[in-house]
Amino acid sequence: MTHLLIIGGSDAGISAALRARELDSSVDVTVVVADSFPNYSICGIPFYLSGEVPDWRNLAHRTAAEITATGINLLLNHTAQTIDPDQKSVKVVDRQGQVQWLSYDKLILGTGAVPIQPPIQGLDIPGVFLLHSMEDSFAVHQYLTTHAPKTAVIVGSGYIGLEMADALTHRGIAVTLVGHSPTVMKTVDPNFGQLIAEEMQRHGVEAINSVEIKAIEQIGKDLAVSGSGGFHKTADMVLVAVGVKPLTSLASSAGLKIGMRGAFQVNRQMETNVPDIYAAGDCVETWHRLLNQYTYLPLGTTAHKQGRIAGENAVGGNQEFAGTLGTQVVKVFDLAIARTGLRDTEATSAGFNPVTFEFATWDRKVYYPGAHKLHFRITGDKENGQLLGVQIVGHYQGEVAKRIDIFATALFHNMKVDELNQLDLSYTPPFSSPWDPVQMSAQAWVKQQILSVH
């Protein structure tokens, strides 16, 4: 019997365990989970804190009982401390300090990532929170319930910061969002960042850019947040969400190679440099399909795929991770913002000759009630017309996610921009036009290229 040990019970770890058991019902699978919340949707935390999902239990992709019913052993509230690859064993400790060594034939690391703690004075003051785990969310929820804050400062204007600005506003809290970038959400181009900022302002969020937060102080009952350029703001609570870093502290004991951003180095079979040890998810470098090189791009969708591959290969498979395109979508108030592939600047750095063109059209036939504008930024290669990347901003009911997925599929198959016109896409006036906005934006890009030549 094969003993498969998995460290980490989030997306990658549980996906690996389920795939291994699916392919080989005789394999003995144990998943070591640092808390008591295996397979919970961390991406759902803002919607729990907003009150839109009242019961945190609904954030479970699967309950613990559903996981164990598949034959997977869960070891909850245990943390892995050391790996002995020679003896093929892992030292784990529970919250009472009890130590045990677990043996393995194959080991998968899905340790994930942890919030970056920026050099800000006062992060340990009550009312100041980092937000990443279920336990973090309970601490924030308790503070919201017991202290009923009226004002909040959010440090960080990326995905989590934006979603939490929405969530806290939903609760009636006045939010100030502070970021060090020139515009919010630096993963999209600045003019799209401006559209997002305008949407937040319409909902009462004060967005402040190009500020580096230096300190948080307790002054009476208030939290005083100060930063560069003379920034000063008082609030009842502070959230710090400036990104994550891979959790790879086990590397030193096992001789595992570390790559960019401190992530585990893996090949496309999700194997590390140490025999019989795999790794997947937010703790690893990720193969980028367009760049043809590794990058660090932690996404839940990627973690699920990589975990599945690691689980299959650990029981004798030979699958490869096809690569990420960085496809993402986020809802901020009434907007959905999505991207896939490369932005203009990223494509230039990668050696392409990119041209980016912006185009706006309606998400459906304009005569049908409820039509909204969709804004596209399409990046293609000037020389051969290859599609390189797309950004979309539009109303969250405007099928933004569907449309970015069409572009992601086109990128996956190395399609040219003009080839999007050949796709057989669905149409009825409540949802689209005879030429879908995806195709209209592609046509606009191609037309612009023709005009630039003449």
Give one DSSP letter per residue of 307-319, joined into a string.
HHHHHHHHTT---
Integer angstrom CA distances of residue 355 from 141, 389, 413: 45, 10, 20
Spatial contact of 163 and 140, defined as CB atoms under 8 Å apart: no
283 is catalytic: no
Q: How far apart are CA 378 and CA 344, in angstroms?
A: 9
Per annotation, catalytic residue among 23, 28, 43, 331:
43
Q: 243: how many CB neighbours lie within 10 A of its CB?
A: 15
- DSSP character string of 288-347: ETTTTEEE----HHHHHHHHHHHHHHHTT-------B---EEEEETTEEEEEEE--HHHH
Collapsed DSSP state (helix, strand, coil) of residue 161:
helix
Other C-beta atoms closer than 10 Å to the C-beta of 265 total 18
Dihedral sign, Cα of residue 360, residue 363, residue 368, residue 372: negative
Q: Which of 315, 321, 320 is nearest to 302 (CA)?
A: 321
Element (H, E) at 196: helix 190-202
Positions marked catalytic: 43
